[in-house]
């Protein structure tokens, strides 16, 4: 029997954040097997919450005061 992967999609302007560790994801997640707790478990939609998409900072900062 193969693994059935489900896809969850966030509402417009929202992204997913994993509840137990705060890891941010995009607006779509394919659920499968999750290892984020140190052991394999079935990934479930209730492990995530929708949060407003953060603003993107498109500026490029110099590294060690060097011009790139």
Please tell me the distance from the alpha carbon of residue 32 to that of residue 7, in angstroms, as a whole number: 9
pTM value surpassing 0.85: no
Q: Flag whether pLDDT at 35 surpasses 80.
A: yes
Weakest mean pLDDT among 10-14, 21-25, 45-49, 54-58:
54-58
43 band by pLDDT with thresholds 50, 70 and 90: very high
Please tell me the distance from the alpha carbon of residue 57 to that of residue 40, in angstroms, as a whole number: 34
pLDDT at 3 (0 to 100): 59
Query: What residue ranges do the domains of the chain occupy?
Result: 6-51
């Amino acid at each position: 029997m193969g693994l059935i992967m489900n896809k969850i999609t966030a509402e417009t302007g929202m992204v997913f954040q994993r509840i137990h560790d705060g890891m941010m994801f995009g607006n779509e997640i394919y659920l499968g097997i999750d290892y984020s707790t140190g052991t394999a478990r079935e990934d479930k939609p209730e492990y995530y919450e929708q949060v407003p998409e953060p603003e993107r900072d498109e500026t490029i900062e110099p590294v060690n005061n060097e011009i790139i």
